[in-house]
Amino acid sequence: MNQLDSLKQFTTVVADTGDFRQLAAYQPQDATTNPSLILKAVQKPEYRPLLDETVARFKGKALDEVVDRLLVRFGTEILSIIPGRVSTEVDARLSFDEEATYSRGERLIELYEGAGVHIDRVLIKVAATWEGIRAAERLERRGIRTNLTLLFSFAQAVACAAAGVQLISPFVGRIYDWHKKTAGSAWDEAARSGAHDPGVQSVRRIYEHYKHFGIRTEVMGASFRNIGQITALAGCDLLTISPELLAQLAASEAPLQRALDPEAAKSIALDAVEYDEAGFRYAHNEDAMATEKLAEGIRAFAVDAAKLDALLLA
């Protein structure tokens, strides 16, 4: 049994890509997309017709609506291949606007339903800012499931759980990147790999907190740099993995054991944590890595969203 098949025994495997032609080879349950992945896909010759068809069909509509229709077009194509759910992201430029985020989430679901997709097969992906979490809480009350992304701090995870969101996506690789860059020449790759990787440790802390307190929100590790990070999180509810790393897992027959166990988490001594808005903002601000990576992530997704706008206008 290869490592990918072994991982599927413990964890729901999710493909992280806009390149849906790659999905069938790895048979993931779910799939996630983001602005950068969709931008990358539409610049390939095999996907350019989807962009051109969407522009032609909805000529004269507001640009933001055409963008959402393109995202939904990709999402429906993905759902024709996988059995589970697809995550579709709200424009990152709305990350600090609760009302606009809520409205765009509603519209994305309406577009999916118009395409014949059941609401249960879609997760609306929202940046885990305070405003994003509040918008997600409102969407959840409407029966619209959400995936809170760009999650780097424990405070974000606690606030998401209190809001009752369906799923969170802590970014393993980007946490690792920050710590490696900050350490500079003092970084010891061997000593900070596997279970000792700072990104892995962040997800483990969140996972154990959720399972200990019976929190129903799903934990989906994301943004991986190597398969060692993935295997160190075997047993996490879900892991969303790039096609390149899925291929590496499929090619390896090294033994893989469960690393995270919900029953074991129940016996750990942990204190309950909760935040109001001021407490959340302060706790998140105290985490330099999380503060920097959240801001950087929003800026990067916003840049790619603007590039996608430009392609649609060209």
Q: What is the mean pLDDT of residues 145-164?
A: 98
Q: What is the mean pLDDT of residues 212-233?
A: 98
Please write the tens of the pLDDT for every residue from 247-305: 999 999 999 999 999 999 999 999 999 999 999 999 999 999 999 999 999 999 999 99
How large a percentage of the chain has pLDDT more than 90? 98
Tokens in use for 237? 């509810």
Q: What angle do CA 255, 205, 268 make, to 5 degrees?
A: 90
The confidence score (pLDDT) of residue 314 equals: 85
Distance CA 193, CA 197 (A): 5
pLDDT greater than 90 at residue 117:
yes
Strand partners, 32: 16, 87
Give me the phi and psi of 267, to 5 degrees please.
-95, 0
Domain topology for 3-313: TIM Barrel (3.20.20)
Please write the tens of the pLDDT for every residue from 33-47: 988 999 999 999 999
Q: What is the mean pLDDT of residues 179-190?
A: 98
Q: What is the mean pLDDT of residues 179-193?
A: 98
The confidence score (pLDDT) of residue 35 equals: 82
Tokens in use for 116? 């014949």
User: How many CB atoms are located within 10 Å of the residue 283 CB?
Assistant: 18
User: How many CB atoms are located within 10 Å of the residue 241 CB?
Assistant: 29
- Active-site residues, by number, are 125
Confidence label for 234 from pLDDT (cuts 50, 70 and 90): very high
| Residue 82 identity (one-letter amino acid) | I
Chain mean pLDDT for the chain: 97
Please write the tens of the pLDDT for every residue from 85-95: 999 999 999 99
Q: What is the mean pLDDT of residues 89-112?
A: 98
